[in-house]
Structure 1
Amino acid sequence: MNVLNVAEKPSVAKSVSTILSRNQGMRMREGRSRYNKIFEFNYTIRGQPCHMLFTSVTGHLMELEFDERYRKWHACNPADLFRAPVHKSVPEDKKDIKRTLEEEARRCQWLVLWLDCDREGENIAFEVIDVCTAVNPHLTIKRARFSALIEREIHHSVQNLEEPKKSLADAVDARQEIDLRIGASFTRFQTMLMKDAFAIDTATDGRNLVLSYGPCQFPTLGFVVERYWEIQAHEPEEFWSINCAHDSDGRIAKFSWMRGHLFDYTCAVIIYEMCVEELTATVTNVRLQEKLKYPPHPLNTIELEKRASRYFRMSSEHTMKVTGDYHLFVCFQAVSFIKNDL
């Protein structure tokens, strides 16, 4: 039995193929897309010998768009976009991936979907289903659910295949349609309404003037503007502090003032002169206090991207790529450690 397996990105396809084939007898060949290879190997699913063909997509295979007659800005009233028909189609840059799926699906009996186990992954799974069943409606469709690229998890997943969940994919379709209708209608409306209020010479500037609007974009812009106003309203103020240190046998003890900062220069100078005049300090009290230092809390995606941007000047895209690569590296190290330990 031929089984077509589809992952969400090429690195996952390669990792899962390596685990299932135990890196023995696996053959790689080119697909229509130069980035999405095809891996072939033999495997047994619930006692049934299978010839596995493993390939991948690169995120969403399809995009939602309006019918052709609604794509020109002045073809309709922006309000009409709330009711205009929409459809999903494969964009030009994903056509090669589509052709690969069609060619492989024609000679397979099963389709196993290895997309991420979230709503977006489920939606991409049904995009793959639509492409494959269009050329082979007799495919048996299964869903592999896994949370980590480790050997035990992957083998358990392929031996306990489930049905894909249409309700999760429908939820993403609804969100995409809302985003498209709101974003397109309001972007066109406010751009055409307010374009004369902005002194941008599009002939010399070389750009089209678009006042973009989006359900996620607008609140994000609000955060940026709010932070900008805070920075602009900040008034710097000078302050002074008293810092003391004692050197004994090469060991330095630093003492800090409980009050911290002084905003009065005269007071700071008076206290400093008192310290200089009386160089010998007297320890009047010693208090020992135990402090617990807890490990840092895990970061969600947004906080991770914020900190990577702040401390390392990394873009969100680069941050997620590094995170994904590191996750794969750690998982493979864990698998290697378990094998060596056994």
Structure 2
Amino acid sequence: MHLIIAEKHIAAKRIAAILAPGKTKQVRVSGVDTYEYESEEGTKIFIGLSGHIVKLDFPKAYNNWQKVEAKELIDADVITTSTQVKIVAALKKLGKTATKVTIATDYDREGELIGVEALDIIREVNPDVVFERVHYSAITPKAIDDAFSNPTNVDFDLADAGHSRQVIDLVWGASMTRYISLAAGRLGKMFLSVGRVQSPTLSLIVEREKERDAFIPRPYWELSAMLESKSGVIFKAEHRTKRFWEKAEVDAAMGNVSVGDDALVTELTTSEKIDKPPTPFNTTEFIGAASSIGFTAANAMRIAETLYTNGFISYPRTDNTVYPESLDLRAQIEIFKTGAFKQYALKLLEKEELVPTKGKKETTDHPPIFPASLAKKSEMNEQEWKLYELVVRRFFATFADPAKWETIRSKFDINGEDFKANGARLVVPGWRWYYHYNAPEDRLLPELNEGDKLKVDKVEVEAKETQPPGRYGQGRLIKIMEDMGLGTKATRHEIISKLYSRAYVHGNPLQPTKTAIAVVDTLETFAPTMSKPDMTSKLEADMDRIAEGEIPEDEVLNESREMLGLIFKELEINKEDISESLRAGLREDKIIGVCSNCQSNLMVMRSKRGSRFIGCDGYPDCTFALPLPRSGQVVVTDKLCEEHGMYHIRIINSGKRPWNLGCPHCNFLEWQKSQEEEKEKNGTDKERPKTINDISGIGKVTAEKLSDAGICNVNDLCTADAVELAKVTSIPVKKIKNWQSEIA
């Protein structure tokens, strides 16, 4: 029996369908679907994994954060545990009788490791099994047939490089996360995540935010005039001095220009600008382009992975920006002679020679991202089609001619003051006909000749200020990470997703929270190695050397542990200062605004029993309070409600879209209003209870219990979890729900 192992179930199913001479037979093994068919060589069985089916971890003895010091994790044993019990069982069962195994996982460092993990499980029960490896960059009939016709060897060095990354990231992340979280007093779900790649990336975002905070805007003025041509067209001309830094200077210039004055055309310069076509997509360029049309990095890669496994595009994780000679480019374009992109394909095929553009990076593992097969819009959802179209159009654009623009520069004299106006129009669309994204618009000027006199229709001075450097968008940040050697093409988008899920950043462009700033400031002061890219880029380079067979994995792992040990020595010396630094920063991140009653800080607080709410720092003198949702992390934004003096907040729940709750006070008032409207709608004029004691059936003792639980007013009771309240007060759940119903 010949066992073929793919990285995912859908890939196994598609590959089996491509290679089978007829229909495949679906057989369930240990609860896992497999696909098989008979061939001249015997039975062939295809099984899909679920990515990594095992994970690295520490022995259970190290799991207690309070008893095991963080630094002990540096030299702790690392064990392998199963994450997909059914798949592991199926591999063992099939592996016992397999005469040959073909690893058909994705061809990259991570895919090689996933394949070796599966192979190791099989070799435990069948040590002498013969095995081979196939490489492909698209799940299409031609690519799969070629790959299985030319098998190669498993690259254990490449797998070791992937394994070393897992070990290093586990040891660094777990030990530093535990240390920083304990120092800050943030345990449980609210722990402070620290990572080898994550922390330097977060540092980049925080540094940019500090640049913005330190930026001092400088005022300047712009002077412009609206001119009317002989044909009656009105257009804008700007003063030769782009920015006036002194108000007196712009006032003096404006004093020389008046409505009705003549504007003499003193110079006209017409030229042609060549607009070169773009280079092929690698992962970073693809994410950047997807980001510009509204996709997050993680969502773009998730959809790209789906398109790949369904055979629509090539492998989306690649550094390559040069199409390989082995790729039949004309045949690839001919695929689109029918369908939605027919006119574009036929236009390109008119060329006698198809010469694509080339980027700066050329690798041999995978080609740049290109459309692998023709798809119909009905076969995809809206987002999938949007990204598929992006890939198709970019592919076409790399073969297209340059675009050409006609540019016009004009100068005008208005009573001794020089003005200028520039125009541009696309005269030869070239590649922009195929790839229309983010295209600049034509800036048209009326017909002008030197010596013409135009009338000044309007004169305007606009006061402006210089702007701080912009925050990083996801696409831009991934490009910077690539340039600095932070992460890989397969992990950078995941790092950014982790920053969001840990409530270190919000929005796009990315804005750090006060918690993020506190963590980065602490690391930069007491463990600067963790916040700079040098360390992680050095380890990335060493992992590449493992993949090339230049150095053994153990040498890199030992070096990384030594580096981490030096960091912990610094941390131990400054233990108290680190704790104080973190706690001060985290407290600041809980401030929602200023109490309108007593001017104290309004904070995210927790009751004795753990429920959270917005309370006044002036308690017990001030009892102002507002409810908060029971679950999710609270992120305080920099948008301020002028009416209530509170910052807008976001609620982040893992795996869900962030909830922009807005101003908590406005939100609460809106909720109250909706409740009143609901009462009116139902035709009840029953007066709403004002306090806990106003609800029928609640006595003084019960009210005190609810108060102790942090349920201070009727609204808190209404929004609280009835089961949790029952545990606190020993009151039946049904009774509490009746009270809540009475309020609502």
Query: Normalised by the size of structure 1, how large is the TM-score?
Result: 0.77
Partner of residue 166 from structure 2, selected from 176, 186, 204:
176
Question: 3-state DSSP class of the match of 1:146?
Answer: coil
1:19 is matched with 18
One-letter identity of the residue aligned with 1:76:
V
Q: Which residue in 2 is equivalent to 1:213?
A: 194
8 Å CA contact 2:104, 2:133 repeated in 1 = yes
Shift, 1:256, TM fit: 5.3
Describe the shift of the 1:26–1:259 C-alpha distance in structure 2 as closer, same or farther (beyond 3 A).
farther
Distance apart, 1:298 and its partner CA: 4.6
String of CA shifts for 1:233-273, please: whole Å, max 9, x gaps.
23445554426466787988665555434455565566567
> What is the identity, as a one-letter code, of the residue corresponding to 1:337?
I
Classify 1:226/1:31 alpha carbon distance in 2 versus 1 (closer, same or farther; 3 Å): farther
Q: 1:233 aligns with which of 209, 214, 237?
A: 214
Structure 2 counterpart SS, 1:317? helix
- Equivalences for residues 75-94 of structure 1 within 5 A: 75-91=67-83, 94=84
Partner of residue 175, structure 2 = 185
Paired residue secondary structure (1:84): coil
Which runs of 5 or more residues in structure 1 are unaligned?
none
The AA in structure 2 aligned to 1:72 is N
Q: Deviations over 1:140-183 (max 9, x none)?
A: 21100122333332212101111201122122222222222222
Give the Cα–Cα distance (whole angstroms) in 2 for the partners of residues 302 and 318 of structure 1.
Answer: 14
The aligned counterpart of 1:158 is 148
- Displacement of 1:8 in angstroms is 1.4
Structure having the higher Rg: 2
> Does 2:101 correspond to 1:111?
yes
Provide the secondary structure at the position in 2 that maps to 1:83: coil
Aligned to 1:5: 4
Query: How many aligned residue pairs are there?
Result: 321
Asked if 1:316 corresponds to 2:297, the answer is yes
Name the aligned partner's letter for residue 7 of structure 2: E
Structure 2 CA distance for aligned equivalents of residues 295 and 117 of structure 1: 29
Equivalent residues of 1:69, 1:75 under 8 A apart: no
Superposed displacement of residue 90, structure 1: 0.9
CA distance in structure 1 between the partners assigned to 2:202 and 2:258 by the alignment: 53
What is the identity, as a one-letter code, of the residue corresponding to 1:319? Answer: A
- The aligned counterpart of 2:268 is 286
Matches within 5 A, 1:193-272: 194-195=183-184, 207-237=188-218, 239-241=220-222, 242=224, 244=226, 255=237, 259-264=241-246, 267-268=249-250
Q: Note the C-alpha offset of 1:25.
A: 1.9
Across the aligned residues of Structure 1 and Structure 2, the Cα RMSD in angstroms comes to 3.6
Alpha-carbon distance in structure 2 between the residues aligned to 1:152 and 1:310: 33
Q: Which residue of the other structure, out of 34, 39, 56, is the alignment partner of 1:38? A: 34
1:54 Cα deviation after fit: 1.7
Larger mean CA deviation between 247-256 and 233-242 belongs to: 247-256
1:111-155 per-position Cα deviation (integer Å, ceiling 9, x unaligned): 111112122111111100022222333422110012233333221
Distance 1:326 1:270, change over 3 A: farther
Counterpart contact for 2:138–2:313, Cα < 8 Å = no
8 Å contact 2:19–2:145 — kept in the other structure?
yes
**CA deviation vs aligned residue, 1:47-79 (integer Å, no higher than 9, x gap):** x53432222112212111112222222443333
Per the TM alignment, residue 325 of structure 1 is displaced from its structure 2 partner at its CA by 3.2
User: Relative to total residues, which structure has the larger helix share, 1 or 2?
Assistant: 1
Cα distance in 1 for partners of 2:103, 2:282 equals 26
Q: Which residue of 2 aligns with 1:296?
A: 278
Change (3 A) 1:247 1:147: farther
Q: 1:264 to 1:21 in 2, by over 3 A?
A: farther
Question: Is 1:63 equivalent to 2:63 in the alignment?
Answer: no
1:323-338 to 2 correspondences below 5 Å: 323-327=304-308, 328-330=311-313, 334=332, 337=335
Residue type at the aligned position of 1:127: E
Structure 1 partner of 2:115: 125
TM-aligned CA deviation for residue 319 of structure 1 = 1.5
Q: Secondary structure at the match of 2:89?
A: helix
Question: Are the aligned partners of 2:13 and 2:35 in contact in 1 as well (CA < 8 Å)?
Answer: yes
Percent identity, aligned pairs only, is 27
SS at structure 2 position matched to 1:142: strand
- What is the identity, as a one-letter code, of the residue corresponding to 2:24? M
Equivalents in 2 of 1:252, 1:158: separation in Å?
67
2:72 is equivalent to residue 95 of structure 1? no
The 1:14/1:294 distance shift into structure 2, 3 A limit, reads farther
The question of whether the paired residues in 2 share the 8 Å contact of 1:112 and 1:142 is answered with yes
Q: Which has the higher strand share?
A: 2
The aligned amino acid for 1:260 is: K
The TM-score normalised by the length of structure 2 is: 0.38
- Alpha-carbon contact 1:122-1:165 (below 8 Å) kept: yes
Q: Which residue of 2 aligns with 1:277?
A: 259
Any unmatched runs of 5+ in structure 2?
A: 315-330, 339-744
